[in-house]
Amino acid sequence: MYGGMKDLPILRNYDDALAHWQLIKPLRGRATDTRPLCLSARRKTHVLIERTTVDGVDAVACKLYRTNVLTFVSDGRIVIDNSYPSMSTNHFVSAILEGRAYMGTKANQTWLHTYSGQWLVGTELVLRRHPHNETLSPVSPHPYCVHVLDRKKFNQVKAAYVPFIKHLRNVAKLVEASDARSPMPRDRLTTAADQTREGWGPLISYLLAVSTRRTWVGGWTYTLDVERGVKHLLDEIKTQHADEIFIKEPVPMGHYKADSNKRYVS
């Protein structure tokens, strides 16, 4: 069931799509041939099926609103149009290709899961069916890369901040936890690399506040975990120096790998 409608068709290829198009009677009183995609939801015309062409080749399109989201071409291609990525688009494709493919979102990107692998959809993905089974595979898979930290370069960048981090840990041994904090402007990070220690004070205060854990045990209790502040500082360093310390690493086709460092890269 999709969007409260029953009988959304499960289609395997162009022949299935054409047979379904022929089964649906056009709506009366329309200037053009208008056929609802679902047999039991003829009044809901935001999902339609219509004949069309792709590169001059006969095709049948399953429309969601005004987009030919899923098009079955007579030469065997299946075209997914993901110009408007959404949960509705994902459900629409997954329902019609039920059992052979599932479309979903990971890390704000649309992926198609088939028996042949996991494939980045992008704005469009063209599929072909294996000649001897129902397995779907992309004609031209989209490349996918993840950002990998270059440890050597990161250690070189981090070296300028090591004295500050040591000082932060030493100060944390001498002070009480505090819940006071203020935003740290990005330009203040540069003071941490200043070996004269000029400007360290405000940054130390901020990171100690970040390091504070607050728990309720009959009242608010504050504890200091300085490593929280160190991690916060290192995250800021990674963001500031992302172009220097991260490299793009291609992921093998048909596989998905989480890009845990994407948040550092603009």
Asked whether the whole model's pTM tops 0.85, one would answer: no
- Could you give the residue ranges of the DSSP H alpha helices within the chain? 14-23, 87-96, 151-158, 162-172, 200-210, 226-240, 242-245
Task: For residue range 37-75, list pLDDT tens digits in order.
Answer: 987 767 778 899 999 999 999 999 999 999 999 999 999
177-208 residue pLDDT tens = 766 555 555 567 788 888 888 888 888 888 88
How does pLDDT run along the chain (266 residues), one tens digit per residue?
544 445 789 999 999 999 999 999 988 878 888 899 987 767 778 899 999 999 999 999 999 999 999 999 999 999 999 999 999 999 999 999 998 999 999 989 999 999 999 999 999 999 998 877 879 999 999 999 999 999 999 999 999 999 999 999 999 998 877 665 555 555 677 888 888 888 888 888 888 888 888 888 888 888 889 999 999 999 999 999 999 999 999 999 999 999 999 999 97
Residues ≥6 apart with Cβ < 8 Å to 232? 207, 210
Neighbours of 220 (CB within 10 A): 9
* Separation of alpha carbons 129 and 53, rounded Å: 19
Report d(CA 27, CA 36) in Å as an integer: 8
